Amino acid sequence: MKQTVDTRGLSCPQPVLLAMQAMRGTGSGAIEVLVDNEASRENVARAAQSQGWSVAVTEMAGGECRLDLAK
């Protein structure tokens, strides 16, 4: 089952910290990260790409985004 990391409402550095913990925990596979602001979206995407994960972003209502990380 795809792991979901919900970072909505959390401030820096928690979105990246939670996403990194999930990436390290699974090693590879697919992770879905929910963010609610542009800065978190950029930070999580940058961190995931630096760890060799691909990032696909789907915009949702209310300025929220879903980042699908895969490795």
Q: Which residues bind another protein (CB under 8 A)?
A: 8-14, 16-17, 20, 36-39, 41-43, 45-50, 55-59, 62-63, 67
Question: Which helix (H) or strand (E) is 24 found in, with range?
Answer: helix 14-26
We find the least distance from the C-beta atom of residue 8 to another protein, in angstroms, to be 7
Nearer to another protein, 4 or 14 (CB): 14
Nearer to another protein, 16 or 31 (CB): 16
**Do residues 53 and 25 touch, judged by C-beta distance below 8 A?**
no
- 29: alpha, beta or left? (left if phi > 0; alpha if psi -120 to 50): left
